[in-house]
Chain A
Amino acid sequence: MSRLLKFNIFRYNPADEVSEPHMEEFVLEETDSMTLFIALNRIREEQDPSLQFDFCCRAGICGSCGMVINGRPGLACHTKTKDLSGEITLLPLPVYKLVGDLSVDTGSWFREMYTKTESWIHTTKTFDPTAIEERMDNKQAVDIYELERCVECGCCVAACGTARMREDFIGAAALNRVARFLIDPRDQRTENDYYEIIGNDMGIFGCMGLLACEDVCPKHLPLQNQLGFLRRKMGITSLKKIFKK
């Protein structure tokens, strides 16, 4: 006989005036290779059709199913129930706007973050669609791609003590994003330009090195190394700004 899993799931529908935030218990029989994604779908199908949660790709690619799983932010589709104890507590990610139950709006947050960090290649070159694409060193391309792998699940920001305490802290996903353009040779922004974006206590100097971001990122992005790289880079830029007038 397989295990009976006990789920404690956060329930609250902000759109419903009589709804009160509370925890609700569901019991489900574990099946082979069950992920939390499968479990939640079964609960919704068999026990409570009003349960709200997000998913799309069910393969750790779209980043929609981020939630707090037994205290740790992670992807539901990426988490096997056999790796968890028989009692599983699920909460929506903090920091983001709650849509309902386990569903949060990470999209608006990322959209705004991309706008504010000007998350695109800045160049004065005009694009010639007929020309052969400029070549890039393979190592450089791989390094950029490594940082591009972020699926925007939002787990790193939800796990960050600094982001929880300080609403104006920009978070690891954003800093990683800036690092991605900083190492891209096509982006013509200077260090001073990047300093304008993250050279302050809301940016890289606000990070206190708690490294929860690094430890929860389901895609294992090298966040610790990027944060260290940016702190050194921006730290040196700040000295240049002060001493070289």
Chain B
Amino acid sequence: MSISYVPVGKSGKWDGAMDWLQMLSGFSLILFVWCHAILESSVVISPDVMDAIGHFLESTGMVQVGGPLIFLVFLSHFVLGARKIPFRFDGQKTIWQHAKMLHHLDTWMWIVQIVSAMIILIMASIHMWVALSDLPITAAKSAARIQGGYWAVFFLILIPLVHLHVGIGFYRIGVKWGFVKDCNRAKFKKVVDVIVTAFVVLGLITLARYYFMSVN
């Protein structure tokens, strides 16, 4: 049980470095996810536009090099983030009871971040493997996959989870590093709400476009 303790004094110059890397890996992934979502949604304008973008990214090697690079950042981010996740049951029980007791949105948001993280770890790995091992990227191939049914459900789960995790992460970086001050916190939170909602809606529209696209 908790009694009085306040251990300090273990100097950790690497703890600081890891905090930087966690933030920077998270931030690169935010930019990646948002760019990815916007580029992907080009299919809504027309599949030809999307094919052209895909072709451009592949002919310049950005997919072949960038893809595995993103995967590496993704894995590093997981390892860095995992330092904060309570993997033991007593820790999970504590934070769960604490969140229930406190009814405090930011504390709940952290739990959402942790749970979404574990699901994203599995689903995003699968998604990256499937996408990168079956180049070139074309709207027709993606549409065929999604019209198969399983992939539609897969993305219906992954899209909201990723945008939640990324949005909360964006908010968290802002407040943790003091880029957002207390007087702007509520406003910043609203902005993040709008961004997340917009990306989830965009993702669903994109998904619907694939689903109802005529293949061949």
| A residues whose Cβ falls under 8 Å from a Cβ of B | 68, 71-72, 91, 94-97, 105, 108-109, 111-113, 116-117, 159, 161, 164-165, 167-168, 170-171, 174, 195-203, 205, 207-212, 214-215, 222, 224-225, 227-229, 231-232, 234-235, 237-239, 241-242
For residue B133, give the distance in angstroms from its CB to the closest CB of chain A: 35
Q: Is the CB of B104 within 8 A of A232?
A: no
Q: Is the CB of B17 within 8 A of A238?
A: yes
Q: Is the CB of A208 within 8 A of B8?
A: no
**27 A–B contact pairs at CB < 8 A?**
A72-B102, A72-B104, A97-B2, A105-B4, A108-B4, A116-B9, A117-B8, A161-B95, A165-B91, A171-B6, A174-B6, A197-B9, A201-B83, A205-B18, A205-B19, A208-B110, A208-B172, A208-B176, A210-B107, A212-B107, A227-B176, A228-B175, A228-B177, A235-B19, A238-B19, A239-B20, A241-B13
Known A-B contacts A112-B4, A202-B10, A209-B172; the reply to A165 vs B95 at CB < 8 A is: yes
For residue B128, give the distance in angstroms from its CB to the closest CB of chain A: 27
Main secondary structure of the interface of A (DSSP, over half): helix
Q: Is the CB of A224 within 8 A of B182?
A: yes
Q: Which residue of A lies closest to B12 (CB)?
A: A200
Q: Is the CB of B7 within 8 A of A168?
A: yes
Q: Is the CB of A231 within 8 A of B102?
A: no
For residue A168, give the distance in angstroms from its CB to the closest CB of chain B: 5
Q: Which residue of B lies closest to A162 (CB)?
A: B84
Q: Determine the chain B residues whose CB is within 8 A of the CB of A229 once the complex forms.
A: 178
Q: Is the CB of A228 within 8 A of B102?
A: no
Q: Is the CB of A224 within 8 A of B4?
A: no
Q: Is the CB of A225 within 8 A of B13?
A: no
Q: Is the CB of B11 within 8 A of A196?
A: yes
Instruction: Give the contacting residue for B20; candidates A112, A225, A238; CB below 8 A.
Output: A238
The range of chain B's interface size is: 35 or more
Q: Which residue of A lies closest to B181 (CB)?
A: A225
For residue A116, give the distance in angstroms from its CB to the closest CB of chain B: 5
Instruction: Give the contacting residue for B6; candidates A94, A113, A212, A214; CB below 8 A.
Output: A113
Q: Determine the chain A residues whose CB is within 8 A of the CB of B172 once the complex forms.
A: 208-209
For residue B115, give the distance in angstroms from its CB to the closest CB of chain A: 14
For residue B163, give the distance in angstroms from its CB to the closest CB of chain A: 19
Q: Determine the chain A residues whose CB is within 8 A of the CB of B8 once the complex forms.
A: 116-117, 170, 174, 197-198, 200, 202-203
Q: Is the CB of B5 within 8 A of A168?
A: yes
State the CA gap A198–B83 with chains docked (Å).
18
| B residues whose Cβ falls under 8 Å from a Cβ of A | 2-20, 83-84, 86, 91, 94-95, 98-99, 101-104, 106-107, 110, 172, 175-182, 185
Q: Is the CB of A228 within 8 A of B176?
A: yes
Q: Determine the chain B residues whose CB is within 8 A of the CB of A167 once the complex forms.
A: 2, 5
Known A-B contacts A208-B84, A212-B102, A239-B16; the reply to A170 vs B3 at CB < 8 A is: no
Q: Which residue of B lies closest to A94 (CB)?
A: B2
Q: Is the CB of B106 within 8 A of A211?
A: yes
Q: Determine the chain B residues whose CB is within 8 A of the CB of A159 once the complex forms.
A: 102, 104
Instruction: Give the contacting residue for B19; candidates A116, A210, A231, A241; CB below 8 A.
Output: A231
Q: Determine the chain A residues whose CB is within 8 A of the CB of B95 once the complex forms.
A: 161, 164-165
State the CA gap A242–B18 with chains docked (Å).
12
Q: Determine the chain A residues whose CB is within 8 A of the CB of B7 once the complex forms.
A: 116, 168, 202
Q: Is the CB of B17 within 8 A of A242?
A: yes
Q: Is the CB of B19 within 8 A of A112?
A: no
Q: Is the CB of B11 within 8 A of A199?
A: yes
For residue B78, give the distance in angstroms from its CB to the closest CB of chain A: 16
For residue B114, give the distance in angstroms from its CB to the closest CB of chain A: 10
